[in-house]
Amino acid sequence: MLNSMSQADMTPDRAHVVVGGPAHVRELPGAVVRKLAVGPMDNNAYLVTCTTTGAQTLVDPAADSDALLALVREGSGSARLDAILVTHRHRDHVGALWDMHAVTGAPVAVGDADADDVAHRCDVVVARRLRHLDTVRVGALTLEAVELRGHTPGSMTFVLAVPGVAVQLFTGDSLFPGGVGKTSSPDDFRSLLGDVRTRLFDRFPDETVVRPGHGDDTTLGRERPHLAEWEARGW
């Protein structure tokens, strides 16, 4: 969760969702991204569908496997799921991982430094231990894994870049509207802020969409003016 999360407004571009409510659907060229709020901590789960091939990946099977399976069927008309991506090892992001893997057979991909913990906690085989800048194919789409160390050692942001539209960043608990994610030490905070600055803000333009693990969406442009403030605020 965010170190000190501010209350974001609920304008339509924030993709606001609530537990028990419908998914927010964003159509992109060749892809559809569905965002669903689940669980007692209001986690966001994301389904990315390749409209060319029908391939799908689920980012963060946080809770409520019935709702997540309904989301998968909404995307494909069946229970087709080609991959499950986990942004980090925390319990609230993997609560439905065992169920989703068991029902769909989708291979699980996790950041290398978090993979053992996820495998043990969820009793699943991690098919891919992701490292910085590894890629995952979803039909005709490619998601890139960007390691952001600090919230957990193996936290990953998944980057979906589709020509002609803003890049989508699935940031888990590493970046939110209003700041970076919670860390347990000053060193972890410096590591996370440094990675967020160099690997996200220095690389991607202002229109890039941040799709966090909890709460509303934002853009790098909205957050960029506050980097110095976050650094001064500390962990």
Question: How far apart (Å, rounded) are the C-alpha atoms in residues 15 and 207?
Answer: 15
Would you tell me which CATH number, out of the four given (2.40.50.100, 3.60.15.10, 3.30.70.420, 2.40.10.220), belongs to the domain 12-233? 3.60.15.10
The yes-or-no verdict on residue 217 having pLDDT over 90 is yes
DSSP string, 94-148: STTHHHHHHHH---EEEEHHHHHHHHHHHT--EEEEE-TT-EEEETTEEEEEEE-
SS3 10: coil
Cα gap 55→222, rounded to integer Å? 32
Contacts of 54 (CB under 8 A, 6+ apart): 76, 80, 139
Q: What is the mean pLDDT of the chain?
A: 94
pTM of the model: 0.94
pLDDT digits (tens, 9 = 90+) for 63-115: 999 999 999 999 998 889 999 999 999 999 999 999 999 999 999 999 999 99
Q: Does the pLDDT of residue 5 top 90, yes or no?
A: no
* Annotated domain spans of the chain: 12-233
Say how far apart CA 31 and CA 177 lie, in whole Å: 24
Give the single-character DSSP code of 200. Answer: I
Provide the pLDDT for residue 142: 98
The predicted pLDDT at position 82 comes to 98
How is residue 70 written in tokens?
A: 């309904």
